[in-house]
Amino acid sequence: MDLLNTLVDKGLRRELPTREEALAVLATSDDDLLEVVAAAGKVRRQWFGRRVKLNYLVNLKSGLCPEDCSYCSQRLGSKAEILKYTWLKPDEASKAAAAGVAGGAKRVCLVASGRGPTDRDVDRVSETIEAIKEQNEGVEVCACLGLLSDGQADRLRSAGADAYNHNLNTSEGTYGDITTTHTYADRVETVHQAQAAGLSACSGLIAGMGESDADLVDVVFSLRELDPDSVPVNFLIPFEGTPLAKEWNLTPQRCLRILAMVRFVCPDVEVRLAGGREVHLRSMQPLALNLVNSIFLGDYLTSEGQAGQADLDMIADAGFEVEGAGTTTLPAHRAESGGGCGSHDGGCAPCGEAPGEAAPGSPEVPAARTDLVAVRRRGAGTDLAPNA
C-alpha cells in the first residue's frame, strides 16, 4: 500500500505526515489492519527496538474532584462507586510504589485528583518523591497533580521528580464539550511550565468519547507540536455514574488504527498504551505492542487492570522484552536534547480513567462490555495487596 510505504519512510526520518495521511490511517479497513500494524511496527522498532517500558500508577488522593471532566470517575457529581480517600502518607505511597518496581516498573506515576495542587500539596508530594527515590534507586518518578501554579514545577523538579503528566485529552475544538471548569489552554500552559522547569513532559489523549477522526488527528498533531517525551493513549472506560457511561464506540481494530496513527505522527516518542486497553483491545492487546513501547503494569487509578503477571507474560509471549532500569528509553537525539527519561540519566496517567458520534464509515457501534469495567478495590488506599 503506497500510503503505508510513505508513512514508514517519513517515520524513519522523523518527518511529520500530512493530516490527510493521518486521516487515511484511521479510514483503513479491517482487511488492511495487519498491514497497518506491520508498517507502524517498523517505525516503532527503528526507535525503540523490541523494548517495552513498564509504568506503575499510585493514586495518592482518590475521588472528590471539583472539576467536571465528563470522562472521569472522580469528577464533580460522579456517581461511580470508586474508592475515595485523602492523601496517602509518604511511607504508604512509597510502599505502593515499591510493589510496582518489584514487578518490573521503571517509572512510578504519582497521581492526585483535583484542579491543581496547593503549595502544601506540593510539599506532600515532594516528601513522597524523596521517600520513593530513597528506597528505589534509579526509578523514574512522574507527577500528575493537575494544573500547576508558578514555581510548582521547579519545586517538584528540585524534589527529584523526573517528569510531569498533563494530558490534552481531546482536540481544542471539542474540549469545551467534555470539560467546563478549565480550558484546553490551561492544560497546554501546564505542560509548558513542566518543560520550562526541566521536567520530561508527558501528555496524551483519550479516545472513544465520541470524537471524530478529525478530532483525533487534531489532538495528536497538537501533541506533536507540544513535543512531549511521552504520549499516553487512553481508551475511555465508560464508568456507570459518569456522563459518558453509554459511550461504547471502540472496537479492538479501531484502537489499533488509532495507535498506529499516533506512532506515525510521533515516531520517536514514548507512546504508552494506558487506561482502557483491557476493556477495548481485549485479546488483541499483544498486537498493540508492535505500535507502543510503553504500558502500565497492573491496575489504574480507579479501575482494575489485568494481573501484573499477565502483563509480563503477554510481553514475553509476543516476543518483546521489559526495558531494564539501566536503559535510556528515548532515542539518543531526544535524550541528549534535554528531554528526558532518560532526562536525568535514567505519562503519565489519565486524569481519571481514560468524548460524540461514531466516525463516518465506521463499523456498527459494538455492544457495551460493562462486565469488563471493574472498580479498583485493592492497592493504594486499601488494606489489600496491590496488583503488580
Q: What is the pLDDT of residue 344?
A: 40
CA separation for the pair 64, 150 (Å, rounded): 24
Q: What is the pLDDT of residue 64?
A: 82
Whether this model's pTM surpasses 0.85 = yes
Domains of the chain and CATH, by start: 2-372 (3.20.20.70)
Q: pLDDT tens digits for 14-25?
A: 999 999 999 999
**Grid cell locating 250:** 471502540
**Helix residue spans in 80-183 (DSSP H):** 90-102, 119-135, 152-159, 175-178
Within 10 Å of residue 158's Cβ, how many Cβ atoms?
12
Beta-carbon contacts of 264 under 8 Å, excluding residues fewer than 6 positions away, are 7, 10, 11, 17, 21, 22, 25, 40, 43
Q: pLDDT tens digits for 58-82?
A: 999 987 888 889 888 878 777 777 7
More confident residue, 291 or 373: 291
Q: What is the mean pLDDT of residues 169-197?
A: 96
Active site residues: 65, 69, 72, 109, 142, 202, 272
Q: Following DSSP, what letter does each residue of 49-90 receive, concatenated?
A: TTEEEEEEEEEEEBS--S---TT-TTSTT-------B-PPPH
Q: Is the pLDDT of residue 370 over 70?
A: yes
Amino acid at 281: L
Q: Is the pLDDT of residue 337 over 90?
A: no
Q: What is the pLDDT of residue 364?
A: 60
Q: Is the pLDDT of residue 374 over 60?
A: yes
Q: Is the pLDDT of residue 36 over 90?
A: yes
